[in-house]
Structure 1
Amino acid sequence: MLKNKFKKKTMAAIKPIIKKGIFALVLVIIAVSFYYLTIWITPYYVQSKFAEKSLGYVNTPRFGDQPNAENSRVIPLPNPDFLYSTINYDLKDNVLKISGIVPDSTYWSISAYQENTTNYFVENEEQVKSKFEYYLAEEGSKSEVLKNIPKEKIIYSPTTKGLILFRYLVSKAYPVKQLSGLQHGVSVVKLVK
C-alpha cells in the first residue's frame, strides 16, 4: 500500500516534467527546421525577386547608373564607386555568347551566380585583357555550337537560370561617362543549341 502511494506520487511528479520535456523537444525541432528551411529558401527568394524586376530583360544586359541614395538599387548594397551591369539568364534551349571590352587601367570583373545566388565563376581585368568573349551553357551541354570553342571561354552553369554581374570601378582614368560607354558595349547573343 505504501509502495502504491509512493508510485502514484512519483508518477504525478514526473508527468508534468515529461510533458514539458516533450513540448521543449517539439519546440527545438520546429525552431531548427525553420532555421534550415530559411537558410535554404532565402537565396531562391532573393533571386526570384530580382528576376521579377528583370521581367522582359531575360538574356539581355541591364545597365545600372552609378549608385546613390536617391536612385533605386538594382544591386543589393552597391558600392558607389562602381557601375554595375547584370544579365538575368535562362539557358533553356540556348547557349549565350557574352562579349565586350575590358577597361585597361581600372578594376573590372564578371561574376556568374546560379539560381540560389551561389557564385560559380569570377574573372577580372587581371585574367582578361582588352576584350572578353564567353559562351554560357548549361552544365553537361553537348551543343554543337561549343564544339570549336576553347574550353577557357566556356562558362558552364550548374542551373538553367541565374545571373551574370559586371562591375566597373569609376576612376580618374575612367570617369563615369567613359565607363558607361564600355558598360553599354556588352553584348549578348543567343546561339541555338
Structure 2
Amino acid sequence: MNTLSTQQRLWFYRILTLLVTAILVHLLAVWAAPRLIMRMVLNGAAAQQMDMQNKAAFPPPVTASSRSVVMPSPDLLYSVCVFDVSSGPVRVTAAPKLTSYWSIALYAANSDNFFVINDRQAANKPVDLWLVSEGGNASQHDVPAGSTVVVSPSSKGFLLMRVLTGNYEAEKDLVEPARRTLTCSPT
C-alpha cells in the first residue's frame, strides 16, 4: 500500500482547505447577498428619505444621471412601498386605467419575486391586494370582497410599480395620476 509523503499530504490538505473555503464563500454569498441588498432597500437611507414604510412613495422620473438603480430605464416611472405584514395585513390598491404597460411586483426580504400583476392580467380593472404573512393573518380580518389575498413569504418586503412612458413630458398628465393611484396601507 502506498502511503502519502509529507509533501503530498501537505498539498492534499492545502487543496482540500481551498475547496472547502471556496464552497463556503460561494454558499454564503448566494445566501447572504440578496438578504443584505434587500435589507438596504427596506431600511436604507432612500427608504427613510421617501418615508415608504407601509405607504406608497413616488420617486421622480429617471434621468441620464439617475443611478439609485443600476441602469434604470428612462421609459419607466416607478412607485414603491416597503410593506410589513408582521402586525397585520397590508392592503395595496391601484387603478392606473392606462392602455400602455404597467405592472406591480412584490419582493420578499430575500429578493425573491413572489407576485406580479400587469395591465393585461388586470384587464383594465382596479387592483386590490390583501397582503398577509405566511401565518395567515388574513383570517383575523374581514377581507374585502374583490380583494386578492397574497401570502408574503417574509414579514417585510418591497413593492415596485412600473408604468411605461415613451415621452414623459408629453404623457405626464396621463401617467402621473395613473401611478399615483397606488396605495399601500396597513389594515
State the TM-score, normalized to the length of structure 1. Answer: 0.83
Give structure 2 stretches of 5+ with no counterpart.
Answer: none
2:31 counterpart residue number? 40
1:61 counterpart residue number? 56
Q: Are 2:128 and 1:133 equivalent residues in the alignment?
A: yes
The letter of the residue matching 2:110 is N
Q: Report deviation, 1:148.
A: 5.4
Q: Are 2:124 and 1:124 equivalent residues in the alignment?
A: no
1:6 counterpart residue number? none
The CA distance in 2 between the partners of 1:95 and 1:40, in whole Å, is 27
Task: Pick from 177, 185, 188 the counterpart of residue 184 of structure 2.
Answer: 188
Map 1:145-184 → 2, pairs under 5 A: 145-147=141-143, 149-150=145-146, 153-171=148-166, 175-184=171-180
Please say if residues 62 and 73 of structure 2, whose CA atoms lie closer than 8 Å, have aligned partners that are also in contact. Answer: yes
Please say if residues 96 and 179 of structure 2, whose CA atoms lie closer than 8 Å, have aligned partners that are also in contact. Answer: no
Q: Report deviation, 1:102.
A: 2.4
Q: Report deviation, 1:185.
A: 2.1
Secondary structure of 1:35 counterpart: helix
Give structure 1 stretches of 5+ with no counterpart.
Answer: 1-9
How big is each residue's C-alpha offset from its partner over 1:129-159, in whole Å with a ceiling of 9 and x where there is no partner? Answer: 2311111111231433245545x61111011
The farther-off stretch of 177-186 and 26-35 is 177-186
Count the aligned residue pairs: 179
The CA distance in 2 between the partners of 1:71 and 1:172, in whole Å, is 17
Task: Pick from 20, 25, 29 the counterpart of residue 16 of structure 2.
Answer: 25
The CA distance in 2 between the partners of 1:95 and 1:48, in whole Å, is 21
Query: CA 1:138–1:144 in structure 2 vs 1: closer, same or farther (change >3 Å)?
Result: same
The farther-off stretch of 177-186 and 30-39 is 177-186
The farther-off stretch of 28-37 and 96-105 is 96-105
Q: Report deviation, 1:172.
A: 6.5
Q: Report deviation, 1:165.
A: 0.8
How big is each residue's C-alpha offset from its partner over 1:116-136, in whole Å with a ceiling of 9 and x where there is no partner? Answer: 000110111111123111111
Q: Are 2:108 and 1:114 equivalent residues in the alignment?
A: yes
Between the two proteins, what is the percent identity of the paired residues?
21
1:78 counterpart residue number? 72
The letter of the residue matching 1:92 is S
Let me know the Cα RMSD of the aligned residues: 2.2
Q: Report deviation, 1:77.
A: 3.2
Please say if residues 85 and 166 of structure 1, whose CA atoms lie closer than 8 Å, have aligned partners that are also in contact. Answer: yes
How big is each residue's C-alpha offset from its partner over 1:18-51, in whole Å with a ceiling of 9 and x where there is no partner? Answer: 1011111101100111011011100011111112
* Higher Rg: 1
The CA distance in 1 between the partners of 2:52 and 2:77, in whole Å, is 18
The CA distance in 1 between the partners of 2:135 and 2:12, in whole Å, is 50
State the TM-score, normalized to the length of structure 2. Answer: 0.85
